[in-house]
Structure 1
Amino acid sequence: MRVRTIPVTAGVSALLLTGCGAADMTKQASPFAGAQGAGTVTLSVQSWVGAQANVGVAQYLLEHELGYRVDTVQVDEVPAWDALSQGRVDAILEDWGHPDQEKRYVRDKKTIVAGGGLGVTGHIGWYVPTYFARQHPDVTDWKNLNKYAGRLRTAESGGKGQLLDGSPSYVTNDKALVGNLKLDYQVVFAGSEAAQITQMKQFAKEQKPFLTYWYSPQWLFKKVPMTEVKLPAYKEGCDADTAKVACAYPHTPLQKYLNTDFAKNGGRAAAFLKKFRWTTEDQNEVSLMIANDKMSAQDAAKKWVDSHPSTWRAWLS
C-alpha cells in the first residue's frame, strides 16, 4: 500500500533501499535469503509501522521459539515482489493488493505463492479531524468539500484546499479523484508516513482543520481521532481505470506471500508464517508501542508476546 523506507531494527544486517521502484532487487539481497537448511529466514519490511509490527513479532518468535536466524530487508512494495520472486527475500507479511504483481508471479510464473490472510483488513480513505467534523458535520460528505476549501488552504496548496498525502509512491488515486470529482483541492505529499504524522499531530495540537489521505489499521487514530469523509461508494471495477476513478477506496483483507521454494522447503519457519494471523487490535497494540512509546520493534514484540501466549502458540502448532 505504502512504500518508502525508514530505519528499522534488523535481525542481522539491514539492506537499505530507497526510491519508488528504482532499486534492482534481483541483484541485491540479504545473504540469508533462500538459504537451504541453514535455519535462516529473510523477511521484507515496509516503512509503515503496522508492517514493522508484523515483522517484529514474527522475527521475535522465529528467533526465540523456533531458533532461526532472521534478517529483515527494507524494500518498497513493488520491488519487494521482484525480490520475493527471485528468492532474495522469503516472505512479505502485509500486502495491500497488487493484482498485476499477483498475476505475474503467482498465476503466471508461479515463483510466489499466497501465504494466507494476515487477519487484518486495510482501508484507505480521506479523513478530517473529529473536532472539525463535530463543528461542521456536513464536511464528511465529499459533495460539501469545496465549501471548506478556503479553510483547508495552506502555503503548499497554491490557493486551493490541501489534501495531505504521504508519499507519491503509496497506493493512491487522490489526484484523479480530485480532478474527476471537480474538487478545489491540491494533493500535497508529505513524503513519508512519519512526515505525514508529524504534520497531522501539529495541526491537531493547534486545533486546525485538515483533510488527509489516511488508512486503517493505524495507531494514530488513538492519538488524533479522525472521521472519514464519504466518497462515492466503491463498486467492483470502479477503480479499474486509475485515470477515471471517481469512487472510494475498497476495504482490502491484507495478505501474506511467500517465495515458492521457501514455502515448500522452509520447514517450521514457512509453516509458522502461513499460520501467522492476528487482529487489527493486536497490530495496533504493537504499532503504538513502536511509534508512540518509542520502543524498538523487538522490545515491543517481546512485550506483546509475553501478554498474548494463547494467540501465538497456535501459530507454532
Structure 2
Amino acid sequence: MNSRKNLIRTATAAAVVLGITGLTACGAAKTDSASAKSGGTVTIAVPSWVGAEANAAVAKHILEKELDTEVELTQLDESVAIDGLNSGKVDAVLEDWGGAPDKIKLYTEDKKSVVEGGDLGVVGHIGWFVPKYLADKHPDITDWKNLNKYKDLFKTAESGDKGQLLEGSPSYTTNDDAIIKNLELDYKTVYAGSEAAQITQIKENYKAQKPFITYWWTPQWLNAQVDLVEVKLPEHKEGCDADPEKVACGYAQTSLQKYFNADFAKDGGDAAQFLKNFSWTAEQQNEVAAMIADQKLSPEAAAEKWVKANESTWKAWLPK
C-alpha cells in the first residue's frame, strides 16, 4: 500500500464473482493490448472486493452502451493484475491499493510497459475496528495499549487463550501478524475465508451485540449499516511498514489509483480516454457495491440502475 504496500485482497470473495471471467497464467497474451482502438475488446482486471467490482461494472456498462466497446472483466488479485498490464493480457486496473509497489516501479519506471491512469477519486484506509456499542461500554478499548486488558472479551474456539482479530481471506497479505508480534499483543489472527464470509460474521456479531475486533477498511458499503469505531494503532509514518517483519504502526490513508497497459493508454482511443476520466466518490462506489452485495442485484443490473440515475456524473467522463 503506500499505506497498503503489504495488503493485497485477492480473488476469493463469493460476493464478487458474478459476471467475471477468469484469466489463466498460461493464456496467450493479446496480440494487440490496445484492442479498443480498432473496436475490439477492452480487458479490465477486477480484484475480489465488491467496491472494485462496482467500478468495473459501471465502466463496462458505459463503455458498451455509450462507446460501443466490448469489455471483458477478469477476476485477478492485485499483484497478478499488474503483471497482466505488463504482458498485455490486461488493459486496465481501476482500483489499486499499492499492494505491489516493486512491480509498479519496475513496469512504470524501468520497462515503461505500464502507465499511471490517475486517481480513482476514492481514498482507502485499513485498520482495526470494534463495534460502537463495545467502545461505549469500554471507552479505552480504542487505544491499542489497552487491548491486552480486554483480550478475554475476544477469545474464540479458534483463537484459544488469545483474543481473536477477525480477518477476511487467508490470501490477503496484511501487516497484522507483525503488528501483533511487535506490539506484544496477546491476539491471534483468525480468517473468515473471504470478504463475504467476514461480512457475514460481522453482521451476526453485531446483531447479537457480541464483542469483536476486526481488520476492516473504508470505503465499504457495510459501514452504512454497522457502526464501527477504529482502534488507534501507532501512527503511520512514511517507511514504517517498509520491512514486513518489523511493522509496528497502523495503516495510512491511500488515494486509490488506476493503471493502464502503456499501449492501451496510447492507442486505446475513446475507451482509454474514458477510463482516464473515470473518477467517482466513495459514496457513489458504495451505492453500487451495496446494490450488488446487499440487495443482491447482478453487477450489470446495479450498474444500469446507477447510470440511469447519475447521468450528469458519468457524462463528464465521456471523451470530448
Name the TM-score class by shorter chain. Answer: over 0.9
Change (3 A) 1:73 1:51: same
Q: Secondary structure of the residue that 2:199 maps to in structure 1?
A: helix
1:233 aligned residue: 235
Counterpart position of 1:248: 250
Task: Name the counterpart of 1:86.
Answer: 87
The higher-RCO structure (CA 8 Å, 6+ apart) is 2
**1:265-291 CA distances to partner (integer Å, 9 max, x unpaired)?**
110000000000000110011111111
How many Å separate the matches in 2 of 1:217 and 1:88?
Answer: 28
| Correspondence for 1:8 among 17, 38, 44 | 17
Task: Report the TM-score, using the length of structure 1 for normalisation.
Answer: 0.93
Please list every run of 5 or more consecutive structure 2 residues that lacks an aligned counterpart in the other structure. Answer: 1-7
Structure 1 SS opposite 2:154: coil
CA 1:184–1:125 in 2, change beyond 3 Å: closer, same or farther? same
What amino acid is the match of 1:15? T
Are 1:46 and 2:47 an aligned pair?
yes
Give the aligned residue type for 1:210.
Answer: F
Note if contact 2:33-2:264 (Cα within 8 Å) is conserved in structure 1.
no
**Aligned partner of residue 274 in structure 1, secondary structure:** helix
Q: Which runs of 5+ in 1 are unaligned?
A: 18-22
2:34, 2:89 → 1: CA distance?
7
Residue of 290, 310, 318 corresponding to 1:308: 310
Report what 1:135 is aligned to: 137
Distance 1:68 1:268 in 2: 9
Structure 2 Cα separation of the partners of residues 122 and 244 of structure 1: 23
Q: Which residue of 2 aligns with 1:75?
A: 76
CA distance in 1 between partners of 2:107 and 2:31 (Å): 23
Whether the 8 Å contact between 1:138 and 1:144 is mirrored in structure 2 is yes
Aligned twin of 1:203: 205
- Note the C-alpha offset of 1:190: 1.3
- C-alpha distance in 2 between matches for 1:38 and 1:118: 25
Equivalent position SS for 2:287: helix
| 1:105-254 matches, cutoff 5 A | 105-254=107-256
d(CA) in 2 for partners of 1:121 and 1:37?
Answer: 34
TM-score, with structure 2 as normaliser: 0.92
Letter in 2 for 1:192: S
Counterpart in 1 of 2:61?
60
Task: Report the identity percentage.
Answer: 58
Question: Which residue type is aligned with residue 189 of structure 1?
Answer: Y
Distance 2:77 2:230 in 1: 27
For residue 160 of structure 2, give the secondary structure of its aligned residue in structure 1.
coil
Secondary structure of 1:227's aligned partner: strand
Does the 8 Å CA contact 2:30/2:88 hold for their aligned counterparts?
no
CA contact (8 A) 1:41 1:69 kept: yes
CA root-mean-square deviation: 1.7
CA deviation profile, 1:155-212 (whole Å, cap 9, x unmatched): 1102100001112332410000000000010011112111111111111121101010
